[in-house]
Amino acid sequence: MLRINADGIHYRELNRTIKAAVRDGETEIVLDNVNGQRYIGTGMEEDVLIRVNGVPGNDMASFMSGPTIHVYGNAQDGVANTMNAGTVVIGGNAGDVLGYGMRGGKVFVCGNVGYRVGIHMKQYQNIVPLLVVGGTAGNFFGEYMAGGVLVVMGMNRKSNQPVTGDYLATGMHGGVIYVRGGVDEHRLGAEPRIFDLDAADHELLEPIIAEFCQHFGHSPERVKDRPFVKLLPYSHRPYGRLYAF
């Protein structure tokens, strides 16, 4: 295990150190006093565990394809941008545009996430990205969603606070979104429809909930004390009738 004190270190130097260590065979790296350093884990393909103490900067885990990153704190904007494979676990909140264009791997967030999270996630063959939010999500959650699995739980929220913001899944044309505790119709974009879960859904959710609980110490019973609903697109081509030619 390699421990790095990131205090005052520029991101280029920090990331160079991380990558060099991984190339030398290091499999676990702990970063202390991280504050705003960008691109941690970005573009990395190795099988390594990176533990981040502090607040990592924007674009963490972008294009990442393999590593596991645990953040013991909040994350900023643009995490898991176009991520390919690997796992990101965030113990606090995450900012805007989390998981943009994510095409594989898993992201677990214990707390709340910002605007435009999980937008344009997509799947191909058996590569299915997963993004799980323990708290609440801002507007445009799952916008343009083309594939993959989004889960939002709304745990630990205030009574007047909705699980998701407005324009939920607007433009959705693939994949599935699970929302714990139901969805207000007026928050929904034009393209998705609300369904109850069937047996296959429960089968899919069970291990996801188990992993979420394992990361953050919740009990699965607590998570399941409110029923989930799922959102599916009603069409794979929602704009088929939009154009004239």
Partner 1 sequence: MAKSYLPPEYVVSIDREKCRRCGLCVKGCGFGTLKWGHDDWQEKMGVFKDGQDDLAVAFQRMQSASPDYVVADSSRCRQCHYCVTHCPEGAINVIKNPVAYKANEHWAAHHMRNIWLQAETGGVLLTGAGNDKAYFSYFDHMVLDACQVTNPSIDPLREPMELRTFLGERPNGLEFERTDDGQVRLKTELPPHVQIETPILFPAMSYGAVSLNVQKALAIAAKASGTLMNTGEGGMHRDLYLYADHMIVQVASGRFGVNPDYLRRGRCVEIKIGQGAKPGIGGHLPGEKVDAGVSQTRMIPIGSDAISPAPHHDIYSIEDLSQLIFALKEATEYTKPVSVKISAVHNVAAIASGIARAGADIITIDGFRGGTGAAPLIIRDHVGIPIEVALATVDERLRREGIRNRVSIVASGGIRHSGDVAKAIALGADAVSIGTAALIALGCHVCQSCFTGNCSWGIATQRPELTARLDPERGAELLTNLLRGWSRELKEILGALGLNSIESLRGSRLRLRGIGLSQQELDLLGIKPVGEGA
Partner 2 sequence: MRIPSGCAISAIMNVKGVRFNGEAIIKSIACMHERSNGLGGGFAAYGIYPRFRDLYALHLLYESDRGRIDTESYIREHFVVEHSESIPTRPMIAITDPPKFFRYFVSVKPEALDPLRGEDEAELLVRATLTINNYIKDAFMVSSGKNMGVFKGVGFPEDIGRYFRLEEYEGYLWTAHGRFPTNTPGWWGGAHPFGILDWTVVHNGEVSSYGINKRYLEMFGYHLTLQTDTEVVAYLFDLLHRRQKVPLELVARVLAAPFWKDIDRMPEEQRAMYKAIRMVYGPAMLNGPFSIIVAFSGGMLGLNDRIKLRPLTCGKKGDFVLMGSEESAIRGIVGADLDEVWDVRAGEMSLVRLEEGGVTVGQELPAPGVCS
Chain residues in the site for partner 1 (CB under 8 A): 140, 143-144, 167, 170-171, 189, 239, 242, 244
d(CA 181, CA 96): 23
For residue 59, the partner it binds in partner 2, partner 1, none, with Cβ less than 5 to 8 A by kind, is none
| Alpha-helical regions (H) of 123-236 | 199-216, 220-223
Exposure string for 211-230, b = 16+ CB within 10 A, e = fewer: bbbebbebeeeebeeeebbb
Binding positions for partner 2, 119-138, rule CB under 8 A? 134-136, 138
Q: Shortest approach of partner 2 to residue 140 CB, angstroms?
A: 8
For residue 216, the partner it binds in partner 1, partner 2, none, with Cβ less than 5 to 8 A by kind, is partner 2
Examine residue 164 and tell whether it contacts partner 2 (CB under 8 A). no
Q: Shortest approach of partner 2 to residue 214 CB, angstroms?
A: 15
Q: Answer whether 166's CB lies under 8 Å from 138's CB.
A: no
Examine residue 212 and tell whether it contacts partner 2 (CB under 8 A). no
Examine residue 74 and tell whether it contacts partner 2 (CB under 8 A). yes
Q: Shortest approach of partner 1 to residue 105 CB, angstroms?
A: 24
Examine residue 180 and tell whether it contacts partner 2 (CB under 8 A). no
Q: Answer whether 114's CB lies under 8 Å from 94's CB.
A: yes
Examine residue 51 and tell whether it contacts partner 2 (CB under 8 A). no
Which CB atom, from 49 or from 55, has the smaller least distance to partner 2?
55
What three-state secondary structure class fits 118? Answer: coil
Examine residue 156 and tell whether it contacts partner 2 (CB under 8 A). yes
Q: Shortest approach of partner 2 to residue 114 CB, angstroms?
A: 6
Examine residue 161 and tell whether it contacts partner 2 (CB under 8 A). yes
Closest CA to 122 of 102, 143, 151: 102
Q: Shortest approach of partner 1 to residue 171 CB, angstroms?
A: 4
CA geometry: angle 192, 195, 197, nearest 5 deg = 135
Which CB atom, from 22 or from 71, has the smaller least distance to partner 2?
71
Which amino acid is it at 36? G
Q: Answer whether 220's CB lies under 8 Å from 157's CB.
A: no
Half-sphere exposure of 40 (CA within 13 A, CB side): 33
User: Given the DSSP bridges, would you call strands 228-233 and 174-180 parallel, antiparallel or unpaired?
Assistant: antiparallel
Contacts with partner 2 by CB under 8 A lie at 11, 35-36, 38, 54-55, 57-58, 73-74, 76-77, 91-93, 95-96, 110-112, 114-115, 134-136, 138-140, 155-158, 160-161, 166, 186, 216
